[in-house]
Structure 1
Amino acid sequence: MSQAVAQLKAIARARDPEQSEFLQAADEVLESLEAVFARDPKYVNVMERCLEPERVVMFRVPWLDDNGVIQVNRGFRVEFNSAIGPYKGGLRFHPTVNLSILKFLGFEQIFKNSLTTLSMGGGKGGSDFNPKGKSDNEVMRFCQSFMTELARHIGATIDVPAGDINVGGREIGFMFGQYKRLTRSFDCVLTGKDMTFGGSNIRPEATGYGCVYYAQEAIKALKNRSMAGLKCVVSGSGNVAQYTCEKLQQLGAKSLTFSDSNGYVVEPDGFTTEQLAKVMEIKNVKRGRISEYMTSGVQSSKAQYFAGKTPWEVPCDVAFPSATQNEIRKADAEILVRNGCYGVFEGANMPSDSDAIAIYHANGVVFGPAKAANAGGVACSGLEMAQN
């Protein structure tokens, strides 16, 4: 490790010693820039500035549940870097959300957004609110309260949030409605909106489709293979995973798995279009668990559900981690390689830890990092901003 990288790592750790997710993301970027720092030392000082957010907003979110009891959650917005445009990045609603996770996501967003060549800076936000098990009215009241505070910090030329984990069209709609009520403005202050009020064509599909297109080109260039017939393991069962599966089907590949925090389901011959539609219904309409697929009536006789496990034990040609950060660790990567996997393309943000990435490189696995592989979503968001 060079002196410049060691110095920058020490600075980051001195400021935020407890923020493990952010420090992991920072280490990954700093180590990749070692040759740049050696060639042109002026960028050491530039990167020191990039490691510190321009602004961090943290606020209380009180909301009324269906029993008439006031609940309180914590909201965040990390406005990381606006050097090339307004802050741009999603909102995540999940009980694990904390400042470290949002700083890591915002830091990654800086570089991802710049790769699109569009004028977008980097940011991220969210709350430790968990929408699972909540009624539509409870989610609406939470979103309205969240936006009541957030509205004063965002704007079309300042900060334009979007969706992320547990923030889809329903939540974006609730927040956009509250923003309009507060500001009397139809500015492009949120992307990922429904087509009926300013959304963009193919935005829901963009991240998953883009990741598969990235994989297609990488495998063609580096392995001289097409996607047709490839066995693919996909983690997650939300927006990114669903449309990753759909595009794999369209290209003739076999998408074998879906997962959530409780376990995973596998279709050994690949999910059909009918089976994918049922998964979408379970997750998007019923807001259920992926285990419900096993009693849906469309599952094949070979389908299996594995509780408490992750899909990386399923033999595959290509893996698409599309759930959350650090879902592939060293042991998982070793299993993937041992089972013949030769491509990993990140639909989620930082789903592979540093040990897993080292195993990919050591074994010649084609690796598509999140900053590039899943940039299709934010690229489409940039078009929605221009459209509005």
Structure 2
Amino acid sequence: MTSSKPGMTRIVAGESAVPKRKRAIEAALAIGLVLLIAVGAVVASTVSRNTEAQAAAPSPTPAAELKLGYFGNLTHAPALVGLNQGFFEKNLGSTKLSTETFNAGPAAIEALNAGAIDAAYIGPNPAINSFVKSQGESVSVIAGAAAGGAQLVVRPGISSAADLKGKTLASPQLGGTQDVALRAWLGTQGYKTNVDGSGDVAINPTENAQALKLFQDGKLDGAWLPEPWASRLVLQAGAKVLVDEKDLWDGSGSGKPGEFPTTILIVNKKFAAAHPDTVKALLKGHTESVAWLNEAPAAEKTAVINTALQESAGAALPADVIDRSLKNIVFTVDPLAGTYPKLLKDGVEAGTTKQADINGLFDLRALNEVAGESISAAGLGQD
């Protein structure tokens, strides 16, 4: 249709095109606004939930109490000195410190897993065993404490491994570090041992003080023991050294010939996650104790250790026993992580643990921060 005026033409159908486009744009904007409001509501809800969750989750705080386990052995001298000299209490501040003594590692691990203690000085094999059984959920190794100080001592009539067939030997506890070391060494000598005490050589896990008495009474042929018990059998019961464990370590794992971990410091993982500041305070006390042991004059060291043993074990030691024992021990905060693949292998062959991946066993971050060092986890955890 054309206009009645000359020179002007319009299309009738086009009269409704502009309003339709306008309405379409307005509709799209309305839909977009609705979507934007909906997305905003979801985001706001998510942020609110996250904020509420963060508010509900407790922040890490110092623990009201730290329950520490250790043994009355000279290989646990960092614990003895830390308690006697007040290094732990000073660094823990308002956190109450309570302690419990054990004869061997497996019992300490049971207490730690049950929540009866939060941290412990212990041998490496029970720590490995706990980590393996819990699939990495139970404990973390947070520092070393002592290296060396374990020997197989026997009756004078036994002069070689060949003389051990049919004999009865002792270790502190089945699955403990010295128990595993004894079984592993006997295996290299061609002997078969079983965890029930049968085999070519009978191994009877026995409390240390009882092992001394049984040896004195002629009811035991020898024992693989930590210090001061090895020295006590030598100096007080006439035993002789058949194997010094340091001679079995060539340094291929730790890089330090003759050094192997005897005592380490571990912590319950849940406790560490909830109270990292308390763990750091414990490590400060621990590093001060190790430093004191490496720097104190011999006479002062003997006096302090003996006082601590009197308090924890109920009996002091003769000076010659302490002197011989300390000559066999190196106090160090390095847990010698590179030795742990061999320790695991020995435990597997001894039948006291299972083959497993132990990556994650170590958490040395707090130790390195406190000590100002770069101690390696050897690829088995964080450092």
Asked if these proteins are the same fold (TM beyond 0.5), I'd say no
Query: Higher relative CO (CA 8 A, sep ≥ 6), structure 1 or 2?
Result: 2
Q: TM-score, normalised by structure 2?
A: 0.28
